[in-house]
Structure 1
């Protein structure tokens, strides 16, 4: 099993290109199931999760081709052979559940295994089911599979979600595009990935308004056509690499970055003593004056502080001046990186959904283990600022969400290498 060796090596300087958003691309790919005509995505990230979604779509009979070194994905669902998403594929990745809405909308039936992915909490499917049932679907859970039917087709409805779930919003919006009549989805998630999905669906002929707000209205149409769409910049990769110069010092420009994607996160960095400025090509990040200052963080749905940047922010707080309190309100069980950071000399106490981090002068390199996708990169960030060598094992998590992480960090002066497993 591969590992990553990181050696603390001082300030970082240079440029890092930011890829297309993993979470956006994984949402856009199932949209091909809504139409017989081709859907082409550009600026696609080259990640193992994308390969998993490709395998899932192909198992349904879709044609999926990776072009231009993986940055273009060409898809066609003109001749699907199955409406069953099998456990052996779905178990690998939570986003696999996003085929449920499109299959149900286009074919009137779908059988989808309960999903897998990172072990960061239950993340149940009830919000997806509630929304689809509001549109007239009949859904039954049998032997670990959701069996969904809409014999007379889906019908528009007014539905208020109990929680602003990103995945449920995406599933319901895609299903509603082909429903009869108008759907009004209230307490919808507002994330940029949802705005990106709606922009793509609109190119395919969908009639949708209100994306980016808590109320989305969808006027159902009879059919959708093909389109070409560019995947939005990955705000989580952007935020992750913004933390590299914040932790190590130096000045790094994130190519393709946009302040609108990370406003709440950038505000926290500013409060901690890290400068974030817009440039012609992206965002430039640098520490203002020496050691950063501790800031409290509460994870919230967009536009609040992203849960997917909580682990990385904890790494920064480990060497900040003062004490920070990080409260996780989105997912339970998402502090599994804390004990690994403690192995590196961090002072962290976890009580339920709250972690208290008292900054230390310097972390020390140590062998640590990645427990999930974002935890893995938080340990790499910590290792960049630690004294000595840090070996991060189980980095297969990393490959799900960050392309060429070693190459990108090496490009700004980090001492980092991937060690092939035996």
Structure 2
């Protein structure tokens, strides 16, 4: 059972003992109990925060339904309120945003959020359109590989923004109305695609974006912008055309469900020999994951009803090894890789995973090896998907030999998705583990995390 639930992050510097922080930001996990029960997923974290930014473009209020109660939403709400956007959240997790009186926030106020989010860079286009200027503090986010903002800055310059780099950050201005551009991304980056969409919709003329990201959350953001009055055409071969308009109004929108959280709980069900019904999950955006899940030996059943979802379970017997490569959509999402690797430690044979999206995404495997997993990392590309890292000396391929009996350990969470993977490992391991950094990282992307563990019968507690 779960006891002493804590949801706030202790911002005071923790006392370090034995290499780990001594604070309430720790979960004690008694492993070996299969997860069984039902949880619900809300709107996708990777869409909700961007739809919140889009609200700044409108001249009337916007309403976003099914917003997850996660810390990333709180951070973006804080940023919007600093810029004069009034926000209210109702009990059914419906967020209303009124951008009528948008203002430029003070540098010191924005810097309070420096290092906690990468959202400020996406506010640039909307603020340049609304106010003619914007400011970007130093940006944060998970340390999983280089996510340079050069793509963003280059695109903003092409639109006509003037960027002045200062020690405290970057100050942007738009001496005249931003102009539509023709732009080709070197890589189909989600963040860069979002930046161009959020900037092009009010720019004068037509913007043509090539090699764009087309993830479900990108398409859902386009749906939001279209509801606001934007004219956006999605062509074949990753080409998006945006015809700038003179004004946008507010929207009402229910986001796509969070496919990352869905996959995380699915992997947890498989690794712990459990059964989890993820209410709210939808098949269409999970198809690539579901194919892999079935190949490994996991079972699932889809309920297409109005309040349906997907049931995931371990059907018994041996799990099968697989060869996987992460890729941009419609390939295997990089955020699914980490929880799936934990499940693959229980497969009989050798599995190969080639990471092609983030060059440092396998850092979390050191803790899994500490727990008894047999995982070897390689700098070579162990797969056929074109890869940016093959000649740059990054450990970006993994070979997992299984099955391995995992044993309890003290685990320090390095980032959001690795944190959930560590938790899955602790839940399936023999003995009692302590997982540090739960509130700091996992609550960024997983709503009611402690309550969901309790609903699934996890044997965990807060010290």
Q: State if a TM-score over 0.5 links the two structures.
A: yes
**In the alignment, what sits opposite 1:130?**
154
In the alignment, is residue 269 of structure 1 matched against residue 269 of structure 2? no
In the alignment, is residue 412 of structure 1 matched against residue 456 of structure 2? yes
SS in structure 1 at match of 2:327 = coil
Following superposition of structure 1 onto structure 2, how do residues 134-173 of structure 1 map, counting pairs within 5 Å?
134-173=158-197
Q: Please identify, of 215-224 and 134-143, the stretch whose mean Cα deviation from structure 2 is larger.
A: 134-143
- Asked whether the 8 Å contact 2:326–2:333 carries over to 1, the reply is yes
Q: Which residue, 24, 29, 46 being the options, matches 2:47? A: 24
- The whole-number CA distance in structure 1 between the counterparts of 2:168 and 2:410 is 37
**In the alignment, what sits opposite 1:182?**
206
**In the alignment, what sits opposite 2:355?**
328
Q: Which residue, 312, 316, 327 being the options, matches 2:339? A: 312
Using the TM superposition, give the Cα deviation of residue 134 of structure 1 relative to its aligned residue in structure 2, in angstroms: 2.5
Post-superposition CA distance 1:164-184 (Å, at most 9, x none): 111111111011110111111
Q: Which residue, 310, 313, 316 being the options, matches 1:283? A: 310
Unaligned ranges ≥5, structure 2 = 1-22, 379-394
Following superposition of structure 1 onto structure 2, how do residues 44-83 of structure 1 map, counting pairs within 5 Å?
44-68=67-91, 71-82=93-104
- The whole-number CA distance in structure 1 between the counterparts of 2:398 and 2:254 is 38
Following superposition of structure 1 onto structure 2, how do residues 201-350 of structure 1 map, counting pairs within 5 Å?
201-210=225-234, 214-280=238-304, 281-350=308-377
TM-score (norm 2): 0.86
Using the TM superposition, give the Cα deviation of residue 33 of structure 1 relative to its aligned residue in structure 2, in angstroms: 1.3
Q: Please identify, of 16-25 and 144-153, the stretch whose mean Cα deviation from structure 2 is larger.
A: 144-153
In the alignment, is residue 103 of structure 1 matched against residue 127 of structure 2? yes
In the alignment, is residue 371 of structure 1 matched against residue 414 of structure 2? yes
Relative to structure 1, the CA distance from residue 388 to residue 212 in structure 2 (aligned partners, 3 Å threshold; closer, same or farther) is farther
Unaligned ranges ≥5, structure 1 = none
- The whole-number CA distance in structure 2 between the counterparts of 1:341 and 1:212 is 41
**In the alignment, what sits opposite 1:14?**
37
Q: Please identify, of 328-337 and 168-177, the stretch whose mean Cα deviation from structure 2 is larger.
A: 328-337
In the alignment, is residue 39 of structure 1 matched against residue 62 of structure 2? yes
- Asked whether the 8 Å contact 2:423–2:435 carries over to 1, the reply is yes
Post-superposition CA distance 1:177-231 (Å, at most 9, x none): 1011111111110111111111111111111121896111111111111121112
SS in structure 2 at match of 1:90 = coil
Using the TM superposition, give the Cα deviation of residue 106 of structure 1 relative to its aligned residue in structure 2, in angstroms: 2.7
Using the TM superposition, give the Cα deviation of residue 144 of structure 1 relative to its aligned residue in structure 2, in angstroms: 4.9
- Asked whether the 8 Å contact 2:350–2:401 carries over to 1, the reply is yes
Using the TM superposition, give the Cα deviation of residue 338 of structure 1 relative to its aligned residue in structure 2, in angstroms: 0.8
- The whole-number CA distance in structure 2 between the counterparts of 1:218 and 1:387 is 54
Using the TM superposition, give the Cα deviation of residue 81 of structure 1 relative to its aligned residue in structure 2, in angstroms: 2.2
- The whole-number CA distance in structure 2 between the counterparts of 1:166 and 1:347 is 33
**In the alignment, what sits opposite 1:359?**
402
Count of aligned pairs between the two proteins: 418
In the alignment, is residue 397 of structure 1 matched against residue 441 of structure 2? yes
TM-score (norm 1): 0.94
SS in structure 1 at match of 2:311 = strand
Using the TM superposition, give the Cα deviation of residue 28 of structure 1 relative to its aligned residue in structure 2, in angstroms: 0.7
Relative to structure 1, the CA distance from residue 211 to residue 170 in structure 2 (aligned partners, 3 Å threshold; closer, same or farther) is farther
SS in structure 1 at match of 2:461 = strand
SS in structure 2 at match of 1:89 = coil
SS in structure 2 at match of 1:262 = helix
Q: Which residue, 163, 185, 195 being the options, matches 2:219? A: 195
- Asked whether the 8 Å contact 1:203–1:227 carries over to 2, the reply is yes
Post-superposition CA distance 1:84-138 (Å, at most 9, x none): 6623213201233211121123333212123111122221101112222222223
- Asked whether the 8 Å contact 1:109–1:149 carries over to 2, the reply is yes
Relative to structure 1, the CA distance from residue 230 to residue 418 in structure 2 (aligned partners, 3 Å threshold; closer, same or farther) is farther
- Asked whether the 8 Å contact 1:131–1:161 carries over to 2, the reply is no
- Asked whether the 8 Å contact 2:228–2:251 carries over to 1, the reply is yes
